[in-house]
Structure 1
Amino acid sequence: MPLAFIAAFFVYPLVSIVERGLGAGGDLGILTDPLAYEVLWFSLWQAAVSTALTVLVALPASYVLGRYTFPGRGLALALVTVPFVLPTVVVALAFLAVLPAGVERGWEAILIAHVFFNVAVVVRIVGTFWAGLDPRVSEAAATLGAGPWTSLREVTLPLLAPALAAASSLVFLFSFTSFGVVLILGGPRFSTLETEIYNQAVRLFDLKTAAVLALVQLVCVALAVFAATRLESKLAVSGPRRREEDALRSLRTRGEKAVAGASLGALALFLGLPLAVLVERSFAVGAGHSLEAYRALTRSTNALLASPWEAILNSVVYAAGATVIAVVVGGMAAFAVASATSGRMRLLDGLLLLPLGASAVMLGFGFIVAFDAEPFDFRASPWIVPVVQALVAIPFVVRIVAPTLRAIDERQREAAVLLGASPGQVRREIDLPIAGRALAIAAGFAFAISLGEFGATVFLARPDSPTLPVAIFRFLGRPGELNLGQAYALAVILMVVTAISILVIERLRRDRLGWF
């Protein structure tokens, strides 16, 4: 079933794009256009710089959260994760609010927003891996006279190389396919492949050019996904890992407390300030501060064919449907990945990772191209939005559930078989109860991610049934202080719901066997 779902709603739309780009109507001569080179170059270099900056910003917090235990550590991990699952339009809006005039739209704003968005990836992957390293190695280096910086350079960083490489490949992938951040903060001067596909398809109605650019992006994404999968497989075979409870130790010395306070305090300021300003701007309508923007959400508006509150309800309904699809399909895929041999596991894992790395805009555009004729004209069907949102969420479900299944003691299954249990009974009586908490966590992640999905939804959501991110984008395109205030108000509502989802997930967690 998982492969059939991926084939029908991921592979088939991509094949349709390939056919449109390479078929009789396609024009590969577009690739020789200087604009195409400029867009590709900007896509690559901004993703590379964003990756380097993200690793530098996240490394101190990764060390603190991967080495020490202290009151509020779980809350810190949850708050670090919130920006990653925030809709990109909310992140872009937050930096529009906080950055000074002249900087709020340009490559600087794009880089800063990408760091903000992707810090959680590095903290989760590197911090989890750091917690499993034997501290006696660094202690031995210190005994032999190595200073802190020498020990970091010569001992710790080489040991962290697999985690750093895996995290960097994913951050590069997310930055390369970033849509909402570049669309809003890039302005008219800066465009990536992702935003240019949208511009060509939606604003210029040039589907042929959009298809050719989507092919270029598909090749880049496939290479990045291959690298990410290979690097993540190195993490999986790097040796036995210690439980967090055994790896973490308390902050003992004044220096350790100072390092932890400075690292987490600086990161909290970087992550918290844009969101705090976003909240403040949602009240700043008129001469002072009021609830006018929130009250206006209950009224009809020229910016939408539905009221803003209907957009909120649409988002919740769509996200709930996407969560059900993602948990069912992703859960079945996780069982298949966990039970497969190493070679088949890497192949299946790579196939399931493709929708995560693939451009959301490319997915939405693929649906428009693929399902445009009877009997498969599904473009106006309400269920198409939850399906495309589920495609984005399924890789996260697999990455949360599969490590839990792999960690089940095989002797429990063998004992059940000896007592006469069939394979189906083993899964029902042993695997499912153990994986139940992981499935609940995966459902929370899937809901948060689906709630804020923008790139594909902006193609597929009907004008009379917008989602929250689409409504925010529509308000941003309208003049007037009240329209901007309503965009901020909707962004705050979306941010609060997402934050609550992540906090609930952290409360459900006991062991961190995967990186999310």
Structure 2
Amino acid sequence: MAGRRQEVTSAQSSEPGARDRRRTPVALRLATLIPALFVAVLFVWPIVALVRRAGEVGGGSGVGDRLADVDGWHLLGVTLLQAAASSALSLLVAAPIVWLLATVRLRGAAVLRVIVTVPFVLPTVVVGVAFRALLTGPLDFLGVDGGWVAILMAHVFLNVAVVVRVVTAAWLQVDPRTVEAARSLGATPLRAFWDVVVPRIAPAIAAAAALILLFCSTSFGVIVILGNGTARTLETEIYQQAIAEFRIPEAVALSMLQIAVVAGALVVARLVGSRGTVSGVSAAGREGRRPVRGWLWAPVAATLAWLGLWLLLPVASLAVRSVRPDGREWTLAGYRALADTTYGDSALGALRYSVTSALAAMVLAVVIGFLVAVSVTRGGGWAAQVTALLAVLPLGVSAVTLGFGYLLVVSTLPPELSQSPLVIPSVQALLAVPVVAGIMIPALAQVPRGLRDAARVLGARPLWVLISVDVRLTVRSLCAAAGFAFVMAIGEFGATTFLARPDTTTLPVMIGSLMAKPGLDNLATAMAASVVLVTVSAAVIAAIEILGVGGTDSTRSASSTKETV
């Protein structure tokens, strides 16, 4: 019995992370509570404020009556229908690209991954402007300048990366020898694909579809820009009721419905995603990709043209329209107007504030996200799991709903707090923390425990062990996480719209304001500012992908954060 107990004790102590949990100093465990406190203040507090306000709508009318007054149930149906349609279309459009990256050995694959990833991190308001330029430019013959068709196209553009990242990783897990075995038994190529590959990638397909459903059910910037004032969802109606009409009880009722919808979508995404998560890319999957030879050039060329049509043409149209706003004469007036201060702060001033705010948000997000990752990989236990859950929740809640909650909270704070320069960066950091954690958790999990033990034996203090071992070995992933946090922060639009003041207007908020104003000059300035944001976002993603900072796994983690965390 003594020997058995000794074996059990030995086995328990050899479990991954068990030794680290036992030797994690108290100070480090306390430090992991910082993310929970950060999320409690910046996420739980505004949501609780909304819930409390919902209980005070009063006036003889309940939440159901308020929803009926603003046609809330109809808006719920429209929101879910457009999200489901966007999800299905994204799967169809991404399918050839997934095939290309998963089965073909292609030079310049890193460039293709950049092209696929950039739309996912672009500000939604910029995507709306790009599709406005596309549909009133090269695709003007279609007679579609907005509405639901344009919105669905923009949603596909935004979410192709989710399908490509998640499903390609799953496909590369399939051992090509199993497909060859099916072929040797007489199966046709199509039958072998259907019987061998499809069952293995089906969970990843479902996970990607669930994530896109979640993202599109909270879409705001795209619908505001392309909706032509007629397309309405729960998201846009919350903003309309709260800001445009100042009907706070109705906005609160819609927010409660939105929270319920998003919570349900998040549960579905979590349940489906847990089956679709993959641990990495197998060597057999990589080696099984075929070189481009012979007849294979035809489908490869067709897929590249398909990718260019969906992912490059909108950006190219935006760039052309920024220097040809009327569709006839070439001019740099839009770019010159970026420095115009006639009617207040210039677009360049907004860009400077956006960059400053995004850098501050990046630092906050990296610190908080890294602590979440340390808590999960070294702290363990229920407290770490609760911290990780709290950290990922903000990405699953509507940014507009969250912004409305901030509006209620800020109105109760003293001016020195409500007007603090850290308010907007903190909100942006909150939304970037899940991405940082999603990248850093698998990176820290791969750090050998023996290196930490060796550093302790040599007399290193706990903080120096963390810096000299964990940070040093995961610095590339940390840089990738910082890059994604910066891009997400500089493009945040929904929550920032509620909080922006004349001296804290970000560039996405200014673009949305310019697009709402009549006049060719405002359109040209908005498109020029959008090109600037596209350039910044593309440069950061290219640095992450092409220069190998963080590698492919990091970018895949960023686009499937909910599953990773």
TM range (shorter): over 0.9
Alignment of 1:423-442 (within 5 A): 423-442=462-481
The verdict on how the C-alpha distance between 1:9 and 1:56 changes in structure 2, with shifts beyond 3 A counting, is same
Q: Would the aligned equivalents of 2:436 and 2:482 in 1 still touch at CA under 8 Å? A: yes
Alignment of 1:15-414 (within 5 A): 15-23=48-56, 25=58, 27-28=62-63, 29-33=65-69, 35-99=71-135, 100=140, 102-236=143-277, 241-243=281-283, 246-247=286-287, 249-285=289-325, 288-302=329-343, 305-339=344-378, 341=380, 347-375=386-414, 378-414=417-453
Higher mean alpha-carbon deviation, 418-427 vs 145-154, is at: 418-427
Distance 1:170 1:140 in 2: 34
Higher mean alpha-carbon deviation, 222-231 vs 483-492, is at: 222-231
Distance 2:284 2:119 in 1: 24
The verdict on how the C-alpha distance between 1:281 and 1:301 changes in structure 2, with shifts beyond 3 A counting, is farther
Q: Would the aligned equivalents of 1:282 and 1:293 in 2 still touch at CA under 8 Å? A: yes
Q: Would the aligned equivalents of 2:66 and 2:249 in 1 still touch at CA under 8 Å? A: no
How far did residue 312 of structure 1 move?
1.2
The verdict on how the C-alpha distance between 1:147 and 1:497 changes in structure 2, with shifts beyond 3 A counting, is same
How far did residue 201 of structure 1 move?
0.5
- The one-letter code matched in structure 1 to 2:303 is S
Distance 1:413 1:283 in 2: 56
Distance 1:30 1:102 in 2: 37
Q: Would the aligned equivalents of 1:368 and 1:379 in 2 still touch at CA under 8 Å? A: no
Q: Secondary structure at 2:504's aligned position in 1?
A: coil
Q: Would the aligned equivalents of 2:366 and 2:481 in 1 still touch at CA under 8 Å? A: yes
The verdict on how the C-alpha distance between 1:34 and 1:510 changes in structure 2, with shifts beyond 3 A counting, is closer
Distance 1:464 1:376 in 2: 15
Distance 1:291 1:119 in 2: 32
Distance 2:316 2:280 in 1: 41
Q: Secondary structure at 1:471's aligned position in 2?
A: helix
How far did residue 399 of structure 1 move?
1.1
RMSD of aligned residue pairs (Cα, Å): 2.3
Q: Would the aligned equivalents of 2:206 and 2:276 in 1 still touch at CA under 8 Å? A: no
How far did residue 426 of structure 1 move?
3.5
- The one-letter code matched in structure 1 to 2:521 is L
Distance 1:212 1:392 in 2: 23
Q: Would the aligned equivalents of 1:285 and 1:485 in 2 still touch at CA under 8 Å? A: yes
Higher mean alpha-carbon deviation, 68-77 vs 117-126, is at: 68-77
Q: Would the aligned equivalents of 1:353 and 1:395 in 2 still touch at CA under 8 Å? A: yes
Distance 2:166 2:176 in 1: 18
Counterpart for residue 475 of structure 1: 514
Q: Would the aligned equivalents of 2:262 and 2:397 in 1 still touch at CA under 8 Å? A: yes
Q: Would the aligned equivalents of 1:91 and 1:181 in 2 still touch at CA under 8 Å? A: yes
Higher mean alpha-carbon deviation, 349-358 vs 175-184, is at: 349-358
The verdict on how the C-alpha distance between 1:105 and 1:511 changes in structure 2, with shifts beyond 3 A counting, is closer
Higher mean alpha-carbon deviation, 102-111 vs 63-72, is at: 63-72
Distance 1:131 1:264 in 2: 20
Distance 2:321 2:553 in 1: 39
Distance 1:163 1:346 in 2: 23
Q: Would the aligned equivalents of 1:404 and 1:435 in 2 still touch at CA under 8 Å? A: yes
The verdict on how the C-alpha distance between 1:371 and 1:414 changes in structure 2, with shifts beyond 3 A counting, is same
Higher mean alpha-carbon deviation, 333-342 vs 184-193, is at: 333-342
Counterpart for residue 46 of structure 2: 13
Higher mean alpha-carbon deviation, 79-88 vs 246-255, is at: 246-255
The verdict on how the C-alpha distance between 1:162 and 1:344 changes in structure 2, with shifts beyond 3 A counting, is farther
The verdict on how the C-alpha distance between 1:344 and 1:3 changes in structure 2, with shifts beyond 3 A counting, is closer
Distance 2:423 2:434 in 1: 18
The verdict on how the C-alpha distance between 1:454 and 1:34 changes in structure 2, with shifts beyond 3 A counting, is closer
Q: Would the aligned equivalents of 1:300 and 1:306 in 2 still touch at CA under 8 Å? A: yes
Higher mean alpha-carbon deviation, 194-203 vs 152-161, is at: 152-161
Q: Among 486, 500, 503, which residue is 1:464 paired with?
A: 503
Distance 2:417 2:180 in 1: 61
The verdict on how the C-alpha distance between 1:429 and 1:245 changes in structure 2, with shifts beyond 3 A counting, is farther
The verdict on how the C-alpha distance between 1:102 and 1:17 changes in structure 2, with shifts beyond 3 A counting, is farther
Residue deviations 1:59-92 (CA, integer Å, cap 9, x gap): 2212221333322111110111111111111111
Distance 1:374 1:310 in 2: 27
How far did residue 245 of structure 1 move?
8.8
* Gap regions ≥5 residues in structure 2: 1-33, 559-565
Q: TM (normalized to structure 2)? A: 0.85
How far did residue 246 of structure 1 move?
4.8
Q: Secondary structure at 2:553's aligned position in 1?
A: coil
How far did residue 285 of structure 1 move?
4.3
* Gap regions ≥5 residues in structure 1: none
Distance 1:391 1:10 in 2: 8
How far did residue 425 of structure 1 move?
4.3
Quick one: percent identity of the two aligned structures? 42
Distance 1:209 1:244 in 2: 56
- The one-letter code matched in structure 2 to 1:76 is L
How far did residue 400 of structure 1 move?
1.2
Higher mean alpha-carbon deviation, 374-383 vs 33-42, is at: 374-383
- The one-letter code matched in structure 2 to 1:18 is V
**Do residues 489 (structure 1) and 525 (structure 2) align?**
no
Q: Would the aligned equivalents of 2:205 and 2:276 in 1 still touch at CA under 8 Å? A: no
Q: Would the aligned equivalents of 1:222 and 1:354 in 2 still touch at CA under 8 Å? A: no
How far did residue 513 of structure 1 move?
3.3
Q: TM (normalized to structure 1)? A: 0.93
Higher mean alpha-carbon deviation, 116-125 vs 456-465, is at: 456-465
Q: Secondary structure at 1:512's aligned position in 2?
A: helix
Higher mean alpha-carbon deviation, 57-66 vs 343-352, is at: 343-352
